[in-house]
Amino acid sequence: MLATPKKKQQTIYLAVWDHKHGQDISAHTTHDGAFKQCVKWARETLEEWTPYAPDGEEYSNMNDEDLVANWGEITGYTEFFNVDTLALNKDCPNPGCCCGACENNK
C-alpha cells in the first residue's frame, strides 16, 4: 500500500509596521515580498524623518537592508518594521472544533 504524502505546511509572511497610530500589516507568500513592503513603507515616509538626520546624513542613500534595519534609530525609536513568519492552518470542518490538533492541521 502506498503511503499518503504528508501535506506541506503553508507559510505566510506578515510585513508589520509599528508606528504612533498603530500598526500596518500586509500578508505575503514570501519573506522577500514582505520585506519589500517594509522597504516601500520606509521609502514613502522617509522625507518625514530627513530633517532629523544627524549631521545631514542622507537616509535616502541607504540600501534597503540598512534602511529597514535602522528604521528605529532613524525615527527616534518611535517606529519599527518586522517580518513575522506564520504557519497557515486550515479551518477544521468539524463544527465547534478549534483545537488545531485534528487531522486537517497536520
Quickly state the pLDDT bin for 7 (edges 50, 70, 90). low
Report which secondary-structure segment, H or E, holds 97.
none
Domain of 22 in residue numbering reads as 10-105
In-domain check, residue 26: yes
pTM (whole model) above 0.95: no
Q: 74-106, pLDDT tens digit by residue? A: 999 999 999 999 998 777 777 666 665 565 555
Tell me the longest C-alpha to C-alpha distance in the chain.
Answer: 71
Does a structural domain hold residue 36?
Answer: yes
Domain membership flag for residue 4: no
Which three three-digit cell numbers place residue 7? 501535506
The neighbouring-strand residues paired with 10 are: 88
**How far is Cα 70 from Cα 77, in angstroms, rounded to an integer?**
9
Domains of the chain: total = 1
